[in-house]
Structure 1
Amino acid sequence: MTDLPYASHLQAEDGTLRQGDQFDVVLFEEVSFDGVRAGNARFTESAFTGVDFGNAQLRHGRFNDVWLDNCRMNGTDFAQTTWLDAEFGTTVLAGTALFDSTMRRADFFGCKLVGTNLRNADLRDVTFTNCVLQDVDFGEAELTNVAFPGSRIDALHFDGVKAENVDFRGASEIDIRSGFDSLKGVRINKVQLLQLSHAFALALGVTVDG
């Protein structure tokens, strides 16, 4: 956090969060937003460390130049939110709703995404580094300049995705559950092609025998 250009200006907040709140250059540390209803909240140049967002509702929120570390977003409703220049570190997003959201220049490091709903989201210049993505749904999303270096991808849903320069080549493992007809604009390596060959055959109705 000391590397943040605004780190020396951060002011600690007590964790109170309400509908439409606006925060500039604040620090939320080891606080719980479990179950809060705070739609349309705005956060600019702010940091979250050890924060529990469990079952919170923050729809239509806006997060500009934010840093999140070791946070828990289990069952959190972040639908229709906007994230610009966001960094997520060792954060868990389990059953998290991010559908209809927009992300620009967002980086995920060592995060775990399980059952995360990113349907109809718009991701541009987003990187998932050394993450685990399990049963993540990108259905109908738009992905541009998205990469997954060192990440393990299991049961990915890719139905109706519009992809441009989506790079899976650095992923350590990859398993795509659905949406094989939406892989135009995606890059994989030769090993991944072999890993996915059986699923490709099933999707095309090809029987491999012998």
Structure 2
Amino acid sequence: MHAPAPRDLPSLSYAHHLEPFTDDLERQEIYEWLHIDGRTFEDADGGMSRFNECALSSVTFTGGRFRRARLDDVWLDNIRTVGSDLAETDWLDAECRSSLLAGTQLHGSRLRRTVFHHCKFDSVNLRAARLRDVTFVDCLLRDVDFGGATLTGVTFPGTTLDRVDFTKATLDRVDLREATALGITSGVEALRGATVSTLQFFDLAPALAQHIGLTVKDD
């Protein structure tokens, strides 16, 4: 299993098309070949907008509503979203590096062929989201809720899972073997369809035993 290497801005296939963006974000707009750099957006409303082959670097979103926005081949670096609403967004061929998502709503979102490098997810809501061919590389997922989500072909190389909830999630070809920690608070029964290492299995054994009502006792 090889984690994809992060790309830098000049290596993007559309880098030579990018133009600086200095306006405010608006709803239902189409943004293409734009570079948003060093900006702070407070309570912005970009709902149902489409970002196509755009780059965002050192951008902070405080609050804001981006529900049902679409990100196609978007590169994000050093992004901060704090209490932002990204529910039902659609991500395709996106890459996010060295970013923080805190108290962010991503429930009902669809992420496909998307990679997160060195990102921190803190209290992120991914309930009922659909993730296909998504990779979390050297990330921290703390208090992340995957309740009712569908994960297909998702991997976690070098990533720490801390107090993660998989209640009623559906997993298929999910590989957890290279995760550095499996702190799963709820939904251990949903790990059917996932692959873990032998050592990880022993770490999960108490939670699995509790789920099936198995008592382990030595005289």
State the TM-score bracket (shorter-chain normalisation): over 0.9
Aligned AA for 1:7? A
1:150 to 155, 158, 167: 158
The separation in 1 between residues aligned to 2:196 and 2:183, in whole angstroms, is: 12
Displacement over 2 Å in runs of 4+: 201-210
Q: Which residue of 1 aligns with 2:136?
A: 128
The residue aligned with 2:3 is: none
Q: Give 1:206 deviation, angstroms.
A: 2.9
Cα pair 1:15 1:32 within 8 Å, conserved: no
In the alignment, the residues of structure 1 paired with residue 211 and residue 81 of structure 2 have an alpha-carbon distance, to the nearest angstrom, of 33
Task: List per-residue Cα deviations over 1:51-98 (Å, max 9, x = no partner).
Answer: 111211100101000000000011110001100100000110111100
Match for 1:164: what amino acid?
D
Match of 2:92 in 1: 84
TM-score (norm 2): 0.93
Cα distance between partner residues in 2 of 1:110 and 1:63: 20
1:196 aligns with 2:195: no
5+ residue gaps in structure 2?
1-8
Give the corresponding residue for 1:70: 78
Q: Work out whether 1:206 is the aligned partner of 2:214.
A: yes
Answer whether contact 1:93 1:114 (CA < 8 A) is retained. yes
Following superposition, the deviation at residue 15 of structure 1 comes to 4.4
Once the two structures are aligned, what percentage of the paired residues are identical? 40
Q: Confirm or deny that 1:26 pairs with 2:34.
A: yes
Secondary structure in 2 matching 1:53: strand
The normalised TM-score by structure 1 is 0.97
Q: Cα distance, 1:195 vs. partner?
A: 1.5
Q: Post-superposition shift, 1:205?
A: 2.8
Q: Mean alpha-carbon deviation: is it higher for 83-92 or for 10-19? A: 10-19
What is the one-letter code of the residue matched to 2:11?
Answer: D
| Stretches of structure 1 lacking an aligned partner (at least 5 in a row) | none
- Structure 1 residue 161, shift from structure 2 partner: 1.1
Aligned-partner Cα distance in 2 for 1:38–1:67: 17
1:172 is matched with which residue: 169, 172, 180?
A: 180
Q: Does 1:2 align with 2:13?
A: no
Q: CA deviation at 1:203?
A: 2.3
SS for the counterpart of 2:11 is coil
Q: Deviations over 1:153-196 (max 9, x none)?
A: 11111111111100000001111111122111001001111211
> Could you tell me which amino acid in structure 1 is paired with residue 184 of structure 2?
I
Q: Counterpart in 2 of 1:36?
A: 44
Pick the aligned partner of 1:56 from 39, 64, 71: 64
